[in-house]
Each structure stands twice: as C-alpha cells, then as structure tokens.
Amino acid sequence: MTAQHVSSTLAEPNTDLELIPAALRRIRARFATGVTKDRTWRDQQLAGIERMVRECEKEIFEALHADLGKPEIEALSTEITYVANDAAHARKHLSKWMKPTRVSTPLVVKPAKAEIYSEPLGVVLIIAPWNYPFQLLMAPLIGAIAAGNCAILKPSEVTPHTSAMIAKLLPRYLDPTCFEVIEGGVKETTKLLEERFDHIFYTGNGTVGRIVMRAAAEHLTPVTLELGGKSPAIVDATADLDVAAHRIVWGKFFNAGQTCVAPDHVLVEESVHDALVTRMVAAVREFYGDQPQDSDSYARIVNEKHHDRLVKLLDAPGKHEVACGGTHDRSDRYIAPTILTDVHDDSPTMADEIFGPILPVLAMRDVDQAIARVNAHDKPLALYVFSSDTATQEKVLAETSSGGASVNHIWLHLACPELPFGGVGESGIGAYHGHHSFDLFSHKKSVLKKPTALDPTILYPPYTDLKTKLIKKVL
C-alpha cells in the first residue's frame, strides 16, 4: 500500500443523539459502584490496551493509512507503539502513583500525619483531533484509566476509518460498562457538551477550545485544552547547519506537516540563511526524492477542505518565494514539501498556524531579533533552538515562553514520558504524559490524621491570657 493511492471514502460517522444522555447515565452509575478504584481493574484495562495494539496493529495501521496516508514507520512510532509504551509505563508505575503521598506537618498540628490521596474524578470526556487520531485519543485515556476514571470518547469525524476502528476495537479490550465511544461530528460534540462531566480533555484548535470552555463553565467542569500555535525554530550562526537542516525538515514534513508541535516557521540568523535553506532543500530531496508524490515515506493531507486551505496560502501572490515544492494535486490530497523564503510579514502563512507541509524561512539580524519576534506573538506550544553555544541556548529558553522546548532537535521532548506536555496561554491549558496524566485526572485530597491519645486544650475556649501567650509562641 503506497501513500499516493490512499483515499478516504467513508461517510462522516454519526451517533443517535438520544443515546448520548443514556450512555452517560449508565457509565456514571457504573462509576458509582467503585469498581474503577481497584488497582487490579485499572491494570487490567491498561493491559487490554497493550493487547489491542499488539493484536490489531495491522488494522490500526490500515485505518491511519486510509485517513492520512501515514507511512508505516510514522504510524508505528507516533501512534501504535507510542500508545503501547504509554500503557506499559502507566502499568509499571501504577502502584507507586496510587499510594498516598506523605507531607510534613507544622508544629501547631502535631502529633499528626498529613497525606495527599489521589482519587478519581469520575466520568471524563475526551475529544480527539484528526492529525494523530489514535494516539491523541488513547494517550489521555491511559491517564484517565490509571487515575481510576470512566470515560466517554469522541474520536474525530475527519478521520472516519480511524473512528470506526476505535469504535469497533475498544469494547473488545476494555470494560464496556465503563467506556463508551461516541462517533460523529459537530452535532454529537454539541450534544456531549450539554452534559455534565467531571473533566473535559480536548485536543484541537483555539476556536473550538473556547466553545468547550464555555460549555464546561455551565457545569463548572474543569478542562484541559491541548491546542497549538506557530511554533518557531530559531537557528543561530553557530548551529551545525547540516544537522539542523535534517532535523527541521524531518520534524516539519513528518505526517505532511500536520503536527501540532511541528516547526511552523524558521527564524535564522541572516549570515547563515542561504546556507541553511540550501541544506534544507537538499534534505527534502534526500528524504522524499525528486518526486515526493511517489514516495512511500510521505503522508497526505487529511481531506480536500484542508488541502484547499493550504493551497490558498501557497497562492498568495508576491508574499514569498518558493525555494522548493509548491506543487499540489487535489485528487490525491497531495501538497509537496514546500520551503518558502523572502516571506513578507503580511503573508497569509504568518497569520495563523499553518498545519501543513509549508515552511516559511525568515532571516533575522541576530538571536535578539528572533526572540523579540517570538515574544511579540502568542506563546507557542513548542519552541526549538539550534545553536552550538550554551549561553545562546539558555538565553532563548530564559527569554521566551512556550509549552515545551527542544534544543538542537524537533519535538523529541514529547518522547519523554515524565516531561509534561501542554501549552501556555493561547497554546493550551494543562499538561499530561506519564505521571502528569495520572495527576491531571485525579483529585488531590488533603487528609490529616490525628491521634486521640493527646488532646491539648490550648485551642479550646475559654481563651485565657496564658493560652494567648502560648499560641503566639507556637504560631
């Protein structure tokens, strides 16, 4: 199966809207039985995810390929194997995560033991995007399960093959009384958001994120928003340009640029601008050949709507020069890996997150100008700095704000399970991965345990002068 032959022929999935409130009532009643609080139950569900990935790897890949033309290596590394490893990591650490955490107690409450208990929130709603439609549904679900929650799962309707695959497979491997997959689009999501959940986890864009927050406010429901933004890559004159070119091109054109943490644009010191562009153009040819459309290593745009949106960016006259790429084929949902130079500030490519295989490269006078440009815009989900100078690396990290960052590479910080992944400001609210996922879906309950053998009367009325003097000394 080759990327140039993919097609998405399934109709948009849907669910009977009347079934949604009933499903939520059923799952909420099941949560109330306390079954999810048991460590063994949680471990069994996580083991089920591992087994599903192992036994259904081919079926999962075929769905991802049908929707996005994902090459097998890309599907394995960022979706299939990623989910299996995430579940295995949670199983390995589950007992430790579930144990109450002891904290110190001040003199005024001694003798006592103070602990933090992690308890499940209840029934959570997870709304997944289309660019990594399997991983970005399953990874939050793993955290929700580890923390002892039930869940309603809403896969993206934009990737119908993956949505259907998830709806088919999950009930076979997870407790069907505690989890429900709701397929569909806007009307199903709208109906879901009318209901009360104990947490809503949404991955997508800021426009829908605001809709989710407004709906959640009606029930005072906490939300996690994993959004995006124009993540920059800063390259200074000391950078290893060969390595930088390969890593930026790989990170940008992976999944045809449809990655929330892909470098949206490059800010490079002008003294090495031309050299970097030359190397990046060469890297595109090295990775995908002279005809990337024929490459089995290059994915496709998810649908014609997004293809047309990206073509409009390319067709803006006089706003940029094309260093490589620029071609497209709507019937194949193909846009060539494209590098742009001489990009104007008012170019459409610089207005919003590109989310596709188009990479503007802008020359900067120096790193200070690059930092100033980053800080003049919304805080991005990720930031990348390529430099051989440690002081420059630390300067960029210290003087900019982003959800996460990588030095001399692209988005590999996501591969570290104990690094929290999330945005800041416009790029998101909250973070997850590893232990942070468990914490996200847990309520941290403060517990103080006092013995009864000692019961000093100093705090009790009547409040005498002597008690006042003693209290002042203790406090």
- The answer on 211 and 238 residing in a single domain is no
- Residue 473 forms part of a structural domain: no
What angle, 0 to 180 degrees and rounded to 10, lies between the N-to-C axes of helices 367-375 and 390-399?
20
- The answer on 171 and 319 residing in a single domain is no
> Which among 418, 436, 470 is the end of a domain?
418
- The answer on 236 and 186 residing in a single domain is no
pLDDT tens track for 327-384: 999 999 999 999 999 999 899 999 999 999 999 999 999 999 999 999 999 999 999 9
Question: In this structure, what token pair is assigned to residue 446?
Answer: 């403060």
- The answer on 317 and 219 residing in a single domain is no
- Residue 272 forms part of a structural domain: yes
User: d(Cα 430, Cα 448) in Å, to the nearest integer?
Assistant: 28
- Residue 342 forms part of a structural domain: yes
Catalytic position from the list 183, 226, 269, 426? 226
Regarding beta strands 232-235 and 382-386, do their DSSP bridges make them parallel or antiparallel, or are they unpaired? parallel
- Residue 474 forms part of a structural domain: no
- Residue 380 forms part of a structural domain: yes
- The answer on 300 and 252 residing in a single domain is yes
- Buried b / exposed e along 234-258 (16+ C-beta atoms within 10 A): bbbbebebeebbbbbbebbbbbbbb
Domain CATH number, residue 144: 3.40.605.10
- The answer on 249 and 208 residing in a single domain is no
User: d(Cα 148, Cα 155) in Å, to the nearest integer?
Assistant: 21
Question: In this structure, what token pair is assigned to residue 51?
Answer: 């087994």
Q: Is 180 exposed, middle or buried (0-12, 13-18, 19+ CB in 10 A)?
A: buried
Helix (DSSP H) and strand (DSSP E) numbers for the chain: 16, 20
- Residue 412 forms part of a structural domain: yes
- The answer on 65 and 184 residing in a single domain is yes
* pTM: predicted TM-score of the whole model, two decimal places: 0.95
pLDDT of residue 11: 78
- The answer on 188 and 86 residing in a single domain is yes
Q: Which runs of E-coded beta strand occur in 159-307?
A: 179-181, 199-203, 223-226, 232-235, 265-269
- Residue 164 forms part of a structural domain: yes
Domain that holds residue 207: 3-227+426-447
50 CB contacts (<8 Å, ≥6 apart)? Answer: 84, 87, 88, 91
The count of structural domains within the chain is 2
Is residue 226 annotated as a catalytic residue, yes or no?
yes
- The answer on 222 and 236 residing in a single domain is no
Question: In this structure, what token pair is assigned to residue 24?
Answer: 């939520």
- The answer on 271 and 217 residing in a single domain is no
- The answer on 193 and 114 residing in a single domain is yes
- Residue 80 forms part of a structural domain: yes
Domain CATH number, residue 326: 3.40.309.10
pLDDT tens track for 21-30: 999 999 999 9
In one letter, which amino acid is 209?
G
Question: In this structure, what token pair is assigned to residue 25?
Answer: 């009532």
User: d(Cα 118, Cα 422) in Å, to the nearest integer?
Assistant: 21
pLDDT tens track for 114-164: 999 999 999 999 999 999 999 999 999 999 999 999 999 999 999 999 999
Provide the phi-psi class of 52: left if phi over 0, else alpha when psi is between -120 and 50, else beta: alpha
Q: What sections of 99-240 are H helices per DSSP?
A: 135-146, 160-173, 186-193, 206-217
User: For tokens 């934009």, what's the residue?
Assistant: 158
Is residue 183 annotated as a catalytic residue, yes or no?
no
Catalytic position from the list 56, 150, 260, 324? 260
Return per-residue pLDDT of the chain as tens, 475 residues.
333 444 556 778 889 999 999 999 999 999 999 999 999 999 999 999 999 999 999 999 999 999 999 999 999 999 999 999 999 999 999 999 999 999 999 988 889 999 999 999 999 999 999 999 999 999 999 999 999 999 999 999 999 999 999 999 999 999 999 999 999 999 999 999 999 999 999 999 999 999 999 999 999 999 999 999 999 999 999 999 999 999 999 999 999 999 999 999 999 999 999 999 999 999 999 999 999 999 999 999 999 999 999 999 999 888 899 999 999 999 999 999 999 999 998 999 999 999 999 999 999 999 999 999 999 999 999 999 999 999 999 999 999 999 999 999 999 999 999 999 999 999 999 999 999 999 999 999 999 999 999 888 888 999 999 989 988 887 7
Question: In this structure, what token pair is assigned to residue 371?
Answer: 């930092």
- The answer on 259 and 160 residing in a single domain is no
Give the residue from 143, 174, 135, 138 showing the smallest Cα distance to 153.
138
Angle 210-211-212 from CA coordinates, rounded to 5°: 90
